[in-house]
Amino acid sequence: MANLGNSDILKLEKLFDMSGGYVLDFNNNSFGHFVETCLSFDPYSRYEGSKANILRQIWRGESAASVAKLNLELIERWRLNKLLGEVELTPSEQQIADELEVQFGAVANDESPEDLEFLALDFGQLDIRALPLELSSQDVVRARLDEIAKCLEVGAPLAVIFLVGSTLEGLLADLARSHASDYTGSSAAPKVQGVVKPLPKWTLAELIVVSRALGVLRKDVMSHADHVREFRNYIHPRQQIAENFEPRMITARIAQQVLFATLEDLAKLAAPERGV
C-alpha cells in the first residue's frame, strides 16, 4: 500500500483537477484504458465510483511502486496537456510537479539514497561567465541550460539526456585540448595497444574518468553520469531498443544535476586564474 501523506494528496488532487469527480481530461473509457495500460488491470473491475474516487482508492489499495508509476504517468499527461494547450506553467505548478516527480520516481525506480541526496543538492544561480577562459562556448552553454529546463518542463527526458551529454562532452573536450599534456599524461588516459588515444577520439566516458583522476570533477559527477556518458548510444532508435533504455523524468533530473555539478567544478577550477 502506498504511503501518501495529506500534503501529497492535496498536491495531486490540485494538479489533476479532481474536484467534481474528474481526473484531468479523461472520460470513463479513456481513464480505464489509461490505468489498464499503466498497471495491467481494469480499474472499473476492481473499484467503484467516479474517476477521482477510483484514483483515490488506487492510492490506498495498490502497492507503492504501482501508485508511483501511475502518478508519474498522470503527471506526464498533465504536462503534455499544458503544452498542447499552450498554457504556461505557473511557478507553483512547476515546483509541485517537480517535487512529486522526484518523490514518485524514487519509489518507481528504486532510487538509491545517494541518488536522492544528489538530486537534493542546490547549485544556486550558476554563473556561466565564471567558467575557465579557454571554454569559449559560454553563450551556447547558457542557451542549452535554458533548453534543458524547457525539456524538463514539458516532460522530454530523452532530449535532456542528449543535451546534457553533448554539452558535457563539448566542455570537457575543450578543457582537455587546452590542457593536453595533463590529460594525455594522466595514468587514467585511454590507451589502444599501449598508446594513448588522440584527444579528438576520446569518448565522454573517457573524458569524465580522466577529469576525475585529475581532480577536475567531484566524485558524485562520475558516479551519477551513467546514462549521460553513453548518450551517443541512444541517438539511434535500434540501439536504444537493444539496450532497453527508457529514460524517465527522474533520470533526466539526475542528468541535469550532473551538468550543474560539472559547471560548478569548472568554475572553481577557473577561480585561481581570475584571482578570485
| Rounded distance between C-alpha atoms, residue 108 and residue 71, angstroms | 10
Between vectors from CA 233 to CA 231 and to CA 237, what angle results, nearest 5°?
A: 110
Which of 134, 168, 132 is CA-nearest to residue 148? 168
Which of 26, 116, 4, 20 is CA-nearest to residue 71? 4
| Rounded distance between C-alpha atoms, residue 250 and residue 152, angstroms | 10
* pLDDT of amino acid 168: 92
Distances (CA, A) of 14 to 11, 38, 61, 87, 276: 5, 21, 21, 16, 46
Contact 46, 56 (CB under 8 A): no
Retrieve residue 12's grid coordinates. 495531486
pLDDT in tens, the chain (276 residues): 456 888 999 999 999 999 889 999 999 999 999 999 988 889 998 888 999 999 999 998 887 778 888 999 999 999 999 999 988 989 899 889 988 988 888 776 655 667 777 877 888 877 777 776 666 677 888 899 999 999 988 888 899 999 999 999 999 999 999 999 999 999 999 998 889 999 999 989 899 999 999 999 988 888 888 668 777 777 888 877 776 677 777 788 889 999 999 999 988 876 555 443
* pLDDT of amino acid 30: 95
| Rounded distance between C-alpha atoms, residue 246 and residue 234, angstroms | 10
* pLDDT of amino acid 109: 62
Strand partners, 195: 192
Contact 190, 198 (CB under 8 A): no
Contacts of 34 (CB under 8 A, 6+ apart): 26, 73, 77
Residue whose grid cell is 550543474: 260
* pLDDT of amino acid 18: 94
